[in-house]
Amino acid sequence: MKFCPTCGHPVGFLIPPGDNRPRAVCGHCGTIHYQNPRVVVGCVPEWEGRILLCRRAIEPRRGYWTTPAGFLENGESLQAGAARESLEEACARVEIGSLLSVVNVLHAHQVHVQFRARMLAPEFDSSEESLEVGLFEERDIPWADIAFRSIHFSLQRYIADRSRGDELLHFHDIQESPER
């Protein structure tokens, strides 16, 4: 942020009184603009034991596989966001189940949240956001070509839980070092 979204004048970064972190503060109108992590929400849709994955049509990680997931929108619950992303990215209608994972992606200023989900029908399709979409048996999951570490983590926990009949909640922190 270089300019004030409220009045258009330049902002500077300084620690406001009573605060302990540098914030973007407008030199003209004085508004403090806080910047906070965004939530990425998605789900692991399942149909008769197979898992729905999408091959990304857009950067970052175009061509790699992911569960349906994307940024939570204003006015939307986490569950509604997960279901929307499944519909938008995979043309698949799902019923959202239990919370699977919460991954703090620290360097990206994101929190990645994944739910378990049940497909309402074995219907799916590619989309503007997905080059292809498919239902995968566990042995066929393309582990080497998963788009994001948080998705890799979540899928592995999903499979491990399922084999034991569990539905646990898993936390994980990801912090990439600056040189990567």
Give the span between the Cα atoms of 165 and 162, in whole angstroms: 5
CB atoms within 10 A of CB 103: 22
Q: In the bound complex, what is the minimum distance in angstroms from residue 71's beta carbon to its own copies?
A: 5
**The two structure tokens encoding residue 83:** 């279901």
Give the span between the Cα atoms of 111 and 172, in whole angstroms: 10
SS3 144: helix
**Contact pattern for its own copies over residues 6 through 35, marking x by CB under 8 A:** xxxxxx------x--x-----------xxx
One-letter amino acid at 156 equals Q
Q: In the bound complex, what is the minimum distance in angstroms from residue 141's beta carbon to its own copies?
A: 27
Of 113 and 135, CB closest to its own copies: 113
Of 4 and 155, CB closest to its own copies: 4
**Judged by CB under 8 A, does residue 177 bind its own copies?**
no
Give the span between the Cα atoms of 15 and 12, in whole angstroms: 10
Q: Which residue from 109, 138, 142, 145 is in contact with its own copies, where contact means CB under 8 A?
A: 109
Write out the H or E segment, with its range, that includes residue 154.
helix 149-164
**Judged by CB under 8 A, does residue 73 bind its own copies?**
yes
Which parts of this chain interact with its own copies (CB under 8 A)?
1-11, 18, 21, 33-39, 71-79, 99, 102, 104, 106-107, 109, 111, 128, 169, 171, 173
